[in-house]
Amino acid sequence: MFKLEAPDDLSLVPDALLIPPPAEGRGRQQPSGVLTVDGALVENSASWSSSSEPVNASPDMPAPDEITPLAGKWMFGGVLYGHFGHFITESFARAWALDEIRGQIEGVLFTPKQTSGNIDNMLKALRPLMDILGLDVPVRCIMTPTRVEQLYVPRQGVGMSDLTVGSQKFRNFVNAHSGAAIAPEGDERIYISRSLLPPGRGGLVGESLLEQYLADEGYQLFHPQKHPAAVQVARYKAARDIITVDCSPLHMLAYVGNSEQRVGILTRRSMDFAPSFIRQLEAFKGITAFEVNTLVRDWVPGRSLRPGRGSFGEMDVPRTWQILRERGMISSDTPWPALTDAQREADLSRLNALHGLDFHPLDENLALQEKRTAKKAV
């Protein structure tokens, strides 16, 4: 069981062995991390998605001829993710230690989540985001077993799920550095939309109708993937009222927002994500956030048996209007009408064409699976 706060949260390991995952490695948990010269896993190098879900396992000691030496004093950064949400919550999780050792190190060393892919391009794409967040030192990703002359290994300071509140040191670092040089600029009311995301990313059925209702209330549509990180930060700083689904931009908002903001989080899948976002927004910036859970159905790709990253949620639209109005996020006295069968079918047809597959109701898929299971048992 992992705890964010610990007295021994920063260790300096001489002749540290930094081990990336194996080339053939796939899946959630991979053997990688930092070993002492004797082959013991350095506890602070363990990475966690939640307090009970480790990301890496202790790697084997490599053969001497497999090890590359690296001189100097460095800092271990953890696992490098290319995905925006995982990067700012997991890869960025050890940046807090820079406040204690900045100027003493050559830079930060990551291990890849997987050794496939173009890591150099990933680092280049992430560089502006790293600088904005405060990870403004040279960064490298270690692809082969490496013996580091001296390696600082900080404890992870934030994560997903029940780790989103962050450690005190991590929150202090974020509040001092993340987005500090960027001035607020943009609209007072924004809706963070998913309607222009590429295939494979989920959202809401009938989102275009919601966008129009919110536009009538003075909300400007914001598509963060269409803007550089600096613009995203400026917009999130400037907004007073923000409505969005449970998604990664909320992590960024927690890092750069302010206590005057109100955030309505629309549940888009039957997964318990909103509470962790609410805790994070409150813990980092004192933001008032609340969940709008009016989900009536999960629409999943193919015959999937659970909602996920690529699923779409269908909301109770009149109930959504009611909650947002009660919370003061909208003012119209006219309830938003329920999604009609024709509107639902039209949007599902669009989603099917966009993704090149059919979306089905999750409850229908589960019923079919139960029927198949029962038939096999006979």
**HEC per residue, the chain:** CCCCCCCCCEEEEEEEEEECCCCCCCCCCEECEEECCCCCECHHHCCEEECCEECEECCCCCCHHHCEEEEEEEEEEEEECCCHHHHHHHHCCCHHHHHHHCCCCCCEEEEECCCCCCHHHHHHHHHHHHHHHCCCCCEEECCCCEEEEEEEEECCCCCCHHHCCCCHHHHHHHHHHCCCCCCCCCCCEEEECCCCCCCCCCEECCHHHHHHHHHHCCCEEECHHHCCHHHHHHHHHHCCEEEEECCCHHHHHHHHCCCCCEEEEECCCCCCCHHHHHHHHHHHHCCEEEEECCEEEEEEECCCCCCCCCCEEEECHHHHHHHHHHCCCCCCCCCCCCCCHHHHHHHHHHHHHHHCCCEEEHHHHHHHHHHHHHHHHC
pLDDT greater than 90 at residue 118:
no
Q: Are residues 163 and 248 in the same domain?
A: no
Nearest to 170 by CA among 156, 181, 182: 156
Among 142, 177, 212, where does a domain finish?
177
Q: Are residues 209 and 279 in the same domain?
A: yes
Q: Are residues 129 and 270 in the same domain?
A: no
pLDDT greater than 90 at residue 114:
no
Q: Are residues 199 and 311 in the same domain?
A: yes
Q: pLDDT digits over 286-299, tens only?
A: 999 999 999 999 99
Distance, CA of 205 to CA of 344 (rounded, Å): 7
Residue 277, both tokens: 């976002």
Task: Please report whether residue 374 resides in a domain.
Answer: no
Distance, CA of 359 to CA of 349 (rounded, Å): 9
pLDDT of residue 212: 98
pLDDT greater than 70 at residue 25:
no
DSSP β-bridge partners for residue 153 = 11
Q: Is 305 exposed, middle or buried (0-12, 13-18, 19+ CB in 10 A)?
A: exposed
Q: pLDDT digits over 142-195, tens only?
A: 999 999 999 999 999 999 999 999 999 999 999 999 999 999 999 999 999 999
Q: Are residues 134 and 202 in the same domain?
A: no
Q: Are residues 240 and 265 in the same domain?
A: yes
User: Residue 151: CA atoms inside 13 Å, Cβ hemisphere, count?
Assistant: 29
Q: What CA–CA distances, in Å, run from 307 to 12, 297, 299, 350, 366? A: 42, 10, 8, 19, 11
For range 96-122, the mean pLDDT: 92
Distance, CA of 80 to CA of 321 (rounded, Å): 40
What percent of the chain has a predicted confidence (pLDDT) above 90? 91
Least confident range from 69-83, 139-153, 325-339, 361-375: namely: 361-375
Task: Please report whether residue 341 resides in a domain.
Answer: yes
pLDDT greater than 90 at residue 217:
yes
For range 227-236, the mean pLDDT: 97
What type of residue is 240? R
Task: Please report whether residue 354 resides in a domain.
Answer: yes
**Range of the structural domain that residue 150 is part of:** 10-177
pLDDT of residue 149: 98
Distance, CA of 274 to CA of 268 (rounded, Å): 10
Distance, CA of 6 to CA of 151 (rounded, Å): 19
Residue 24 — pLDDT band, cuts 50, 70, 90? Answer: confident
Q: Identify the residue with better confidence: 263 or 370.
A: 263
Q: pLDDT digits over 337-347, tens only?
A: 999 999 999 99
Prediction pTM value: 0.94
Look up the CATH number of the domain holding residue 213. 3.40.50
Residue 83 — pLDDT band, cuts 50, 70, 90? Answer: confident
Q: Are residues 51 and 161 in the same domain?
A: yes
Q: Are residues 61 and 204 in the same domain?
A: no
Q: Are residues 129 and 273 in the same domain?
A: no
User: Residue 213: CA atoms inside 13 Å, Cβ hemisphere, count?
Assistant: 24
Among 156, 177, 198, where does a domain finish?
177
Q: Are residues 28 and 166 in the same domain?
A: yes
Distance, CA of 147 to CA of 65 (rounded, Å): 11
For range 99-118, the mean pLDDT: 91
User: Residue 267: CA atoms inside 13 Å, Cβ hemisphere, count?
Assistant: 24
Among 157, 177, 197, where does a domain finish?
177
Task: Please report whether residue 348 resides in a domain.
Answer: yes
Residue 223, both tokens: 């598509």
Task: Please report whether residue 373 resides in a domain.
Answer: no
For range 218-231, the mean pLDDT: 97
Domain total in the chain: 2
For range 105-133, the mean pLDDT: 92
Q: pLDDT digits over 301-338, tens only?
A: 999 999 999 999 999 999 999 999 999 999 999 999 99
Q: Are residues 277 and 322 in the same domain?
A: yes
Q: Are residues 89 and 207 in the same domain?
A: no
Q: What CA–CA distances, in Å, run from 142 to 78, 79, 172, 182? A: 11, 10, 28, 31
pLDDT of residue 378: 65
